[in-house]
Amino acid sequence: MTLTASGKRDLRQELEAILGSGAVLSDPDELLVYESDGLTLFRALADFVVFPTSAEHVSAIVKLANREKLPFVARGAGTGLSGGCLPTEGGIVISLMRMNRVLEVDYDNQIAVVEPGLVNLHLSWKVGPRGYYYAPDPSSQQACTIGGNIANNSGGPHTLKYGVTTNHVLGLEVVMPDGEVVWLGGKTRDACGYDLAGVFVGSEGTFGIATKIVVRILKKPQAVKTVLAVFDEIDRASEAVSAVIGRGLVPAAMEMIDHLTIQAVEDAFGCGYPRDAAAALLIELDGLAVGMEAQAERIVAACREAGAREIRTARTESERLLLWKGRKSAFGAYGRISPAYMVMDGVIPRTKLPYVLHRVNEIVAAAGLRVGNVFHAGDGNLHPNLLYDPRKPGDEARVVAAGAEIMKVCAEVGGSISGEHGIGLEKSDFMPFIFSAADLAFMHRLKDAFNPTGLCNPGKIFPTKKSCGEVGPVAYRPHPIEEKGLAQRF
């Protein structure tokens, strides 16, 4: 619903009565900061952005929103890459950035209780001195929050061995879409009844707002070994990925970086990747010191057999960190070679890597664009980064169209349209690539059990009515870039 000017003034007063002054934004200039997330193609303005500091605050805001029939959406650091935290229908953005404490660390039981606005890496900093860490490590971990990781079920390079966010969450205190505060799961391993914590993680903020999160913390491995395998042909690198797995090894991480990305990274940081390589695999083993050499030898042998021209081993921790800097900073490095890029996120069975990378290159070339690939090769999670110039007319539209084509290829080989970035706004209309109308209708019924009014983060995940008549009360709204004729939905 649209608020009148006086209605908005009254509501601001009520919000300030709940939160105190300095915790409510409603001035359009201030709201502008919150109009998009890490995917800047999509923008939407809220009526309010609020900064609660407790579950009671969040509950009171949600109840107020329900009374006023205003949509609301939780937001962490805004590093998301699918428009998942955008207020597509206006309303209230609930920023959790002031709820950023580590509430409890129980080393005996290897769990921590944290607030949703805690920055991912800060948890590992907190427990690091005692020899522990938090395993899920998205590339944005210096900025992204654990609450945002919950919404998207975020992964990262080391999820190959250690699993994604959901494998590390035991329980959550949640403000339900009607304002009720409920614990889903708890500190113990097995749920009593349905695994609601498991169902909540990855629900992209449509099932409620987590206000406390119980996560597992892991002992740091005794030893780590990082190798860089360099290839003259990208196909050889792709084949090496399956060859390593075929030797009965599950490395902690296995990342691929292609030629274009190596150029960008070397321009920006000089991490020591060979500039003339077609692709490099960054492979990390961790675990016991005993046997580490023997395992590394198996990896080296598998890579050589697949045609690696050179294999380097990080000899010191600083060499290791430099190799990882190249990987984790690749996205930023694209700034050296392109004014803008759009990161795609798709998953394929890893044995299909050679074929799919070819198809990606064909699609991008046909669109007259460039692509840099840097991704989690070990679990088949692709990240083609489509480089473009937003000032060039038609470039953005071509990027969006090529992205859709790439997603179709992922679906065709039995993969998925998102491995870790979420569906959000960006890919809701791609959902029929991999799910039937019956699948989506079933998911919508599940959503109705949590979020019957639909006020909690509307407009996400499910296809718009335009493309799928069966589903949902979500109203289709053209995005500004569509209105400008820059893109169309699929």
Partner 1 sequence: MPDALLDKLRATVGTQYVLTGVELSPYVIEGRTPEAAVFPGSVDEVAAVIGLAADAARPVTPWGGGTAASVGMPAAPAGLVLGLRRLSRLLEHEPGDLTASVEAGMTVEAFQTALRGRGQWVSLDPADARLATLGGVLATNASGPRRHLYGTARDLLIGVTVVTADGTVVRGGGKVVKNVAGYDLPKLFVGSYGTLGVIVEATVKLRPLPDHERLVCIPFDRLKDAGAAVRALLASDLIPNAIELLDAPAGAALGAESPALVVGFDGLREQVDWQCAELTRLAVACGGREGRPLPDDTWPRLETAARAAFPAAAAVMSFSVLPSQVADLMEQGAGGARARGLTSAWAAHAGVGVVRAAVGSDVRPKEPSAIAAVLREWREQARAGGGHGTLEWAPLAVKSQVPVWDDPAAAGRIMERIKAQLDPRNILNPGRFVAGI
Give residues 249-268 in contact with partner 1 (rule: CB under 8 A).
249-250
- Measured from the CB atom, is 179 or 387 closer to partner 1? 179
From residue 309 to residue 348, what is the string marking binding to partner 1 with x (rule CB under 8 A)? --------------------------------------xx
Q: What CA–CA distance (Å, rounded) separates 92 from 60?
A: 13
Question: Least distance in Å: CB of 269 to partner 1?
Answer: 27
- Measured from the CB atom, is 26 or 79 closer to partner 1? 79
- Measured from the CB atom, is 12 or 161 closer to partner 1? 161
Per CB under 8 A, which of residues 459..478 are in contact with partner 1? 461
**Range in contact with partner 1 (rule: CB under 8 A) among 12-20, 282-290, 314-322, 326-334:** 282-290
When binding is defined by CB under 8 A, the residue of 291, 332, 394, 478 that contacts partner 1 is 291
- Measured from the CB atom, is 237 or 333 closer to partner 1? 237
Per CB under 8 A, which of residues 423..462 are in contact with partner 1? 423, 427, 431, 434-436, 438-440, 442-443, 445-450, 461
Q: What CA–CA distance (Å, rounded) separates 423 from 347?
A: 13
Please, are residues 359 and 289 in contact by the beta-carbon 8 Å criterion?
no
Asked if 36 interacts with partner 1 (CB under 8 A), we say: no
DSSP 66-106: HHHT--EEEESSS--SSSTT--BTBSEEEE-TT---EEEEE
Q: Which of 275, 296, 297 is nearest to 287 (CA)?
A: 296
Per CB under 8 A, which of residues 194..213 are in contact with partner 1? 194-196, 198-199, 201-203
Per CB under 8 A, which of residues 175..194 are in contact with partner 1? 176, 180, 182-184, 186-194
Per CB under 8 A, which of residues 144..163 are in contact with partner 1? 152-153, 155, 159, 163
Angle at 420 between CA 474 and CA 236, to 5 degrees: 135
- Measured from the CB atom, is 348 or 399 closer to partner 1? 348
Q: What CA–CA distance (Å, rounded) separates 422 from 417?
A: 9
From residue 381 to residue 420, what is the string marking binding to partner 1 with x (rule CB under 8 A)? x--------------------------------xxxxxxx
- Measured from the CB atom, is 5 or 438 closer to partner 1? 438
Number of residues that bind partner 1 (CB under 8 A): 85
Question: Least distance in Å: CB of 280 to partner 1?
Answer: 21
Q: Which helix or strand (DSSP H or E) is residue 50 part of?
A: strand 48-50
Question: Least distance in Å: CB of 140 to partner 1?
Answer: 15
Q: How far from the centroid of its chain's Cα atoms is residue 288's Cα?
A: 30
| Phi, psi for 286 (deg, rounded to 5) | -145, 165
Per CB under 8 A, which of residues 350..379 are in contact with partner 1? 350-351, 376, 379
CB-based burial, 93-121: b 16+ in 10 Å, e otherwise: bbbbbbbbebeebeeeeebbbbbbbbbbb
Question: Least distance in Å: CB of 192 to partner 1?
Answer: 4
Sequence-separated (6 or more) residues with CB below 8 Å from residue 244: 251, 254, 283, 299, 302, 303, 378
Sequence-separated (6 or more) residues with CB below 8 Å from residue 21: none
Q: What CA–CA distance (Å, rounded) separates 219 from 110?
A: 8
Q: What CA–CA distance (Å, rounded) separates 353 from 242?
A: 9
- Measured from the CB atom, is 11 or 164 closer to partner 1? 164
Question: Least distance in Å: CB of 451 to partner 1?
Answer: 10
Q: What CA–CA distance (Å, rounded) separates 127 from 130?
A: 6
Secondary structure letter of residue 218 according to DSSP: E
Question: Least distance in Å: CB of 193 to partner 1?
Answer: 4
From residue 44 to residue 83, what is the string marking binding to partner 1 with x (rule CB under 8 A)? ----------------------------------------
- Measured from the CB atom, is 350 or 398 closer to partner 1? 350
Work out whether strand 279-287 and strand 253-258 pair parallel, antiparallel, or are unpaired.
Answer: antiparallel
